[in-house]
A and B are shown apart, each in its own frame.
Chain A
Amino acid sequence: MKAQYIKNVDLKQLRDLKSDFWKKIQPNILPMNPTPVAMQPTQAIRSEWESKPYGLVKEVSLSAAHNGRFVAFRLEWTDPNQDENRHDNSIFSDGAAVMLASVPGAPVTLMGAPGMPVNILYWRADEGEQGRNIVAEGIGTSRTVDQEMVVCTEQWANNTWQVIIARPLKIDTKEGIAQLSSGKEMAYGVVIWNGAGGERAGIKSYAAGGDQLVIGEAG
Chain B
Amino acid sequence: MNISRRYFLKSGGVAMIGMAALPSFLQRAVAATAGLNKKKMVVLFQRGAMDGLNVVVPFGEPNYYHMRPTIAIPQPKQGGLDAALDLDGFFGLHPSLEPLMPLFRGNQLAIVQAVGSPDPSRSHFDAQDFMESGTPGLKSTEDGWLNRAMQTIPEEKSSPFRAVAFGPYLPRTLQGISPAIAIPDLKQFKMYGPQQTVEGGFEAMYAQTVDHAMRGVGNETFEAVDQLKKINPDTYQPENGAQYPKGRFGQSLEEIAELFKADVGLEVAFLDSGGWDHHVNEGGVQGQLSNLLKDLGQGIAAFHQDMGDRMGDVVFVSMSEFGRTAHENGNRGTDHGHANCMFVLGGGIKGGRVYTRWPGLSEEQLNQGRDLAVTTDYRSVLGEIISKHLGDRDLKTVFPGFANDPRQFLGLVKA
Q: Is B one of A's binding partners?
A: no
Please list the residues of chain B having a beta carbon within 8 angstroms of any beta carbon in chain A.
none
Please list the residues of chain A having a beta carbon within 8 angstroms of any beta carbon in chain B.
none
